[in-house]
């Protein structure tokens, strides 16, 4: 504080009464108790919520001007996507909305406007009561509306974001060369082998609606009665594959069509009761049962490409289809005896005839082997380049699972 009754101006106080100053003082005394003033902030219109772009400005420079941080330019773009189509190009005359962001940018300034007590200097005159000014408390910050401005790190996930993650979990499942359901639902050829068939007697539940025929149907979690084969017996906990024989193929036996998987829950004198735990089609009276073949999970290993792989031919399609389509099953004449395992990939192709004017070799479909027998395998159609597939068409191994 200067001598002669001059009061020290506290930071943030309005100007003191200059009538108390000494008449011989032409310049106010320098306040040595205060730190050097900080650099002046960029000029901006007080209370402005919009900014009109002028020639030569960028979102980077506007963020530096208003927020003292050019890296906050994405927040300006986020609030003005209806005006700015490309953040790399803004044009003179465009009015940018800065209302939400300015409230946050000015928040630190309100914190610095707290009252500071004047420093007490030895020998200095005290401030006269009639010249002291009352420091006004800063106005409280405006209440932001619910769902106001938040940084990208503070924004909460919306319900649509959560639902999208749930749907993505179904669509983007971890890679598996062969899945358990594909293995059991593929079907296979009997290769003229006598298999230990049991027989489904029917659904044990009394139907709520009277049926017009004696045949019953069963769906998932229904209980069915099964007669075991004479040469075998079932026990509680055994898993059974419910199948039907679709047709016979010369030299390859019957086509086994899987209908579902059942688990034995009770053993009776001449039959067993089983619960249907997996279903591929309707289970009816007279269908057959087989002991469930164990499935070996190959993990997440991927087949590796091979050159001049194993050659074979197409035996038939499992179902009656004029044209091949994805997810159908095609039987080929190579199996476990030839080293084929689930996860191997075959190409069915039309070879080049070599005659002038004819086409070159053409790959028709790509098959992934999902089930193997001793001399045949069931391939799941992955890709279709041409749907015309017929028995006898050549097939070759192009990718092999690691041994």
Q: Do 68 and 197 belong to one domain?
A: no
Q: Do 20 and 168 belong to one domain?
A: yes
Residue 185 included in any domain: no
- The larger pLDDT score, comparing residue 83 to residue 41, is at 83
Contact 94, 53 (CB under 8 A): yes
Residue 32 included in any domain: no
- The larger pLDDT score, comparing residue 82 to residue 115, is at 82
| For residue 29, pLDDT beyond 70 | no
| For residue 122, pLDDT beyond 70 | no
**Segment of 13-27, 38-52, 243-257 carrying the highest mean pLDDT:** 243-257
Contact 290, 197 (CB under 8 A): yes
Q: Do 59 and 161 belong to one domain?
A: yes
Q: Do 310 and 386 belong to one domain?
A: yes
pLDDT per residue as tens digits for the range 216-262: 899 999 999 999 998 888 999 999 999 999 999 999 999 999 999 99
Q: Do 269 and 318 belong to one domain?
A: no
Contact 274, 203 (CB under 8 A): no
Residue 280 included in any domain: yes
> What are the angstrom distances between the C-alpha of 66 and each of 62, 63, 227?
6, 5, 83
**Segment of 114-123, 227-236, 343-352 carrying the highest mean pLDDT:** 343-352
Residue 136 included in any domain: yes
Q: Do 114 and 6 belong to one domain?
A: yes
| For residue 270, pLDDT beyond 50 | yes
| For residue 138, pLDDT beyond 90 | no
When pLDDT is cut at 50, 70 and 90, the band that residue 300 belongs to is confident
| For residue 22, pLDDT beyond 80 | no
Mean pLDDT on 156-160: 78
User: Is this model's pTM higher than 0.75 or not?
Assistant: no
| For residue 38, pLDDT beyond 50 | no
| For residue 200, pLDDT beyond 70 | yes
Residue 124 included in any domain: yes
Residue 395 included in any domain: yes
Q: Do 74 and 199 belong to one domain?
A: no
**Segment of 140-144, 157-161, 203-207, 212-216 carrying the highest mean pLDDT:** 203-207
When pLDDT is cut at 50, 70 and 90, the band that residue 318 belongs to is very high
Q: Do 224 and 123 belong to one domain?
A: no
What is the pLDDT, as a whole number, of residue 330? 97
Residue 396 included in any domain: yes
When pLDDT is cut at 50, 70 and 90, the band that residue 79 belongs to is confident
What is the pLDDT, as a whole number, of residue 360? 87
Mean pLDDT for the chain overall: 79
Mean pLDDT on 290-299: 92
Residue 180 included in any domain: no
Mean pLDDT on 358-377: 93
Q: Do 159 and 10 belong to one domain?
A: yes
When pLDDT is cut at 50, 70 and 90, the band that residue 51 belongs to is confident
Domain boundary residue among 269, 291, 313?
A: 291
Mean pLDDT on 176-202: 94
Buried b (16+ CB within 10 A) or exposed e, 370-384: bbbbebbbbbbbeeb
Q: Do 326 and 381 belong to one domain?
A: yes
Q: Do 202 and 224 belong to one domain?
A: yes
Mean pLDDT on 149-156: 64
Q: Do 146 and 199 belong to one domain?
A: no
When pLDDT is cut at 50, 70 and 90, the band that residue 155 belongs to is low
Domain boundary residue among 113, 139, 173?
A: 173
Domain boundary residue among 141, 173, 205?
A: 173
What is the pLDDT, as a whole number, of residue 254? 96
Whichever domain contains 265, its CATH number is 2.40.10
User: Domains in the chain: how many in total?
Assistant: 3
Mean pLDDT on 88-110: 69
- Residue 198 pairs in a beta bridge with 289
Residue-number span of the structural domain to which 66 is assigned:
1-24+41-173
């Amino acid at each position: 504080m200067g001598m002669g009754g001059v009061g020290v101006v506290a930071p943030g106080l309005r100007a003191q009464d200059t009538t108390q100053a000494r008449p011989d003082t032409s310049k106010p005394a320098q306040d040595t108790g205060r730190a050097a003033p900080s650099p002046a902030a960029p000029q901006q219109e007080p209370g402005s919520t919009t900014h009109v772009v002028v020639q030569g400005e960028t979102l980077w420079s506007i963020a530096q001007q208003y927020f003292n941080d050019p890296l906050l330019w994405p927040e300006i773009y986020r609030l003005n996507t209806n005006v700015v189509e490309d953040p790399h190009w803004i044009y003179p005359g465009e009015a940018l909305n800065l209302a939400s962001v300015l409230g946050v940018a000015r928040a630190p300034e309100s914190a610095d406007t707290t009252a500071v007590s004047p420093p007490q200097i030895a020998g200095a005159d005290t401030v006269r009561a009639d010249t002291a000014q009352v420091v006004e408390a800063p106005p409280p910050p405006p209440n932001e509306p619910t769902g106001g401005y938040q940084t990208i790190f503070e924004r909460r996930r919306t319900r649509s974001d959560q639902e999208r993650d749930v749907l993505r979990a179904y669509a983007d499942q971890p890679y598996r060369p062969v899945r358990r359901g594909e293995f059991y639902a593929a079907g296979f050829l009997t290769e003229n082998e006598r298999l230990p068939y049991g027989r489904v007697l029917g659904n044990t539940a009394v139907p709520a609606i009277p049926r017009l025929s004696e045949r019953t149907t069963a769906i998932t979690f229904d209980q069915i009665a099964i007669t075991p084969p004479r040469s075998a017996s079932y026990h509680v906990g055994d898993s059974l594959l419910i199948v039907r024989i679709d047709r016979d193929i010369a030299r390859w036996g019957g086509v086994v069509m899987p209908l579902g998987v059942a688990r034995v829950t009770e053993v009776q004198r001449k039959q067993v009761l089983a619960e249907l735990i997996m279903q591929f089609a309707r289970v009816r009276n007279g269908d057959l049962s087989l002991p469930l073949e164990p499935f070996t999970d190959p993990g997440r290993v991927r087949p590796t490409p091979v050159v001049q792989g194993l050659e074979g031919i197409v035996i038939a399609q499992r179902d009656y289809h004029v044209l091949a389509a994805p997810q159908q099953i095609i039987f080929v004449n190579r199996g476990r005896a030839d080293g084929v395992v689930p996860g191997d990939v075959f190409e069915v192709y039309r070879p080049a005839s070599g005659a002038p004017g004819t086409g070159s070799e053409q790959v028709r479909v790509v098959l992934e082997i999902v089930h193997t027998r001793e001399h045949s395998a069931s391939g799941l159609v992955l890709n279709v380049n041409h749907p015309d597939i017929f028995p006898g068409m050549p097939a070759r191994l192009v990718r092999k699972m690691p041994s």
